[in-house]
Each structure stands twice: as structure tokens, then as C-alpha cells.
Structure 1
Amino acid sequence: MKMTDSRDHCVSPMRRDRIFQSHTDDSYRTPTRVQGGKACRECGAVYEKGRWIWTTNAEQTGQLVCPACRRIHEHAPAGELWLEAGGYLLAHRDEVVSLLQREAAYEETCYALERLMSIEEQAKGVRVTTTGRHMLRRLCEALVLAHHGQLSLKYRDGGGILRARWKRPGD
């Protein structure tokens, strides 16, 4: 599903232009860089060279809470995906959820701040929340590639939250 590149550990097959998007304001990320050698006391992610990574380096001196753990504790997702209830989702719910969990697990190994927060059954479908917008886009890509259907993406005004809605009509 994912491609690797010598320059990147994980590269999405849907995005090949490598154009960097402008920085968006995210209240969960600090505007100034944290000094290196800090680790999240919740998940163990380490801040090194300007980014949060997974590492086995045990010589971390400072302790703080990473933005992903803060989002999880405060129930403030950066991405939300609604899988609309319908005949297809009822028949293939386990397959769809399993696909999303596998993709999320893979992305978490690559990017420490991109995590799956929850998958909740609700009356109108299934709600999936993530700590990052990039994780949500990757989950949506995998869902559309595997199960087709219609996908709509919207950024919430001013909040920096990506909301996606998926449905497979006619099934």
C-alpha cells in the first residue's frame, strides 16, 4: 500500500509532488522549538532535531507531554472521519475498521504525532478521530482505494480540523 523512498521512511502513493504546505496554526504545537533531549512522559516519543520521533534512546533528560498525547487527553481531534451507515458498511464493517486500524498502526510507526484516537459506533455510522490531519488523509486514501465510494473533505473554519465523510451509495 505505501511506498518507501531513500529520502523518506514513509511516502504516500497519492502525493508525489513533494510541495510543502504553508505552516498552519495549531494550538497543540508550540510556536518555538523545544530543546532536544525531551521525551513525552505519556507515550515515550522523543523530540529530536525539531520533530517528534519514536526512538529507543534512553538518555532523555527532560519530560513533557507531546501534542498528540495532549489531544488525546483533552478529546480534541485534529481529524474526524464519518463513515455513513448504509448497506455496504453494514455488510463490510469489520473489513473497513480492520483496514483503518492497520493503516493507522503503520502510520504511527512512521510519525509519532499522527495517531488514531478512536473508532466509535454511532447511530448514523462510524466516527473515526485522529490526532493529526495527515493521518486522516492517509486513512481516507486507503479507504477509497480499497472500498471505493464517495469521499468529501472539509477544513473547519479557523479550527484547523479536517472533517471527512465517506459513503458508498447504491449498495
Structure 2
Amino acid sequence: MNRVHDNKPTSAALRRDKQPQPHTGDSYRAPLRVPSGTGCRECGAVYDNGRWLWCATTRRTSQLVCPACRRILEHAPAAELWLQGCGYLDAHRDEVLALLHHQAQGEQERHALERLMRIDEQAGGMKVTTTGTHLLRRIGAALLRTHHGRLSIEYRDGDGLLRARWSHADSDV
């Protein structure tokens, strides 16, 4: 029987400078896998088969602080969204806040590490910080779908923080 050999080099055969590197190194993610059944002592999320989940397990072997809780405790968001103050935002403040909380709850139910950290109301608008980038993108898409306006998302390499800015085109109601 003749075997067909693939001549593609494996990642071990590639030179170190040619090996694919992760886009960004997140210092809040563990470099090695945590043993399955490990739970977070802050929020109760459980690490199982490579993912943090909201599930009750009886075989909890050890406890540590999950990456999302570490971000919250250290006030180090993964993403921030600036809602620029305008007449529209002032007039629809309660609707926008309800949308933010609804989207955060939906994302947190599916992904234990995606949480809303804070909503700070400031003179020029609102600053929303999250523990993950996916939640920010979900909130941004929901704002565009519901309230329209403009959304700009910016990620600088090496910064480790996804920044977004939303503003409504109509400054009047």
C-alpha cells in the first residue's frame, strides 16, 4: 500500500520567527489549561473541557479566581464603549440603559467570561466597560440596530483594550 505524504511542514518544523503567533496576549487568560472541575471562588463559574461555564458540578477539585472576576477586582476592562452625549441619548437614556443590561445578561448566560463591569455616566455621555470584547461588539450591534447612529471600533495592537465610540447622528430628538 502506498502512502501519500503531505510535504507541508508542521509548526514544530517551522522556524520560531515563522510560527503563527496569537493576535494579542491576554494576561488575564491562563497560559495553560486549568484542570476541569475548577471553580471560581468569586462568581461560581466552573472550568470544564476548556471553557468557563455556568453549571453546577459536584466534582469541584479546586478553586481560583476566573479571568472575568480578576478583571473586575483589578478594574482592568477588556473593552470600553463611549456613548457620546447628545440630545438623543439624554432623551432615550432609560431605553439605552435597558438595552445595555439586556444584552449583557444574554451574553453572560452563554459565556461566563463576558460581563458588564460598569456604566459610568459622565458629563459628555456614558462610559461602558466590559470584561470581554464579544460583549462590546454585541452591545454595539444592538445599539445600531435599535437606535441607529454611528459606531466606530478601534483595537490597537499591544494595547490589550478594545475601544468603541457610539454617537447618534441626530443631536435633537
TM-score (norm 2): 0.84
Q: 2:24·2:157 contact (CA, 8 Å) conserved in 1?
A: no
Structure 1 residue runs of 4 or more that deviate by more than 3 Å after TM superposition: none
Q: 1:154·1:163 contact (CA, 8 Å) conserved in 2?
A: yes
Deviation at 1:61, TM superposition (A): 1.6
Q: Which residue in the other structure is 2:24 paired with?
A: 24
Q: Which residue in the other structure is 2:161 paired with?
A: 161
Aligned residues: 150
Deviation at 1:23, TM superposition (A): 5.2
Q: Which residue in the other structure is 1:108 paired with?
A: 108
Q: Which residue in the other structure is 2:69 paired with?
A: 69
Could you give the per-residue CA deviations for residues 100-150 of structure 1, whole angstroms, max 9, x where no partner exists?
100100110000000000111011100100000011101101111000000
| 2: CA distance, partners of 1:64 / 1:160 | 23
| 2: CA distance, partners of 1:125 / 1:29 | 31
- 1:73–1:89 distance in 2 versus 1, CA, 3 Å: same
Q: 1:78·1:160 contact (CA, 8 Å) conserved in 2?
A: yes
Deviation at 1:59, TM superposition (A): 2.3
Larger Rg: 2
Q: 2:82·2:126 contact (CA, 8 Å) conserved in 1?
A: yes
Aligned-residue CA RMSD (Å): 1.1
Unaligned segments of structure 1, at least 5 residues? 1-21
Q: Which moved more, 1:22-31 or 1:79-88?
A: 22-31
Could you give the per-residue CA deviations for residues 9-38 of structure 1, whole angstroms, max 9, x where no partner exists?
xxxxxxxxxxxxx65310000111111110
Deviation at 1:57, TM superposition (A): 1.1
TM-score (norm 1): 0.85
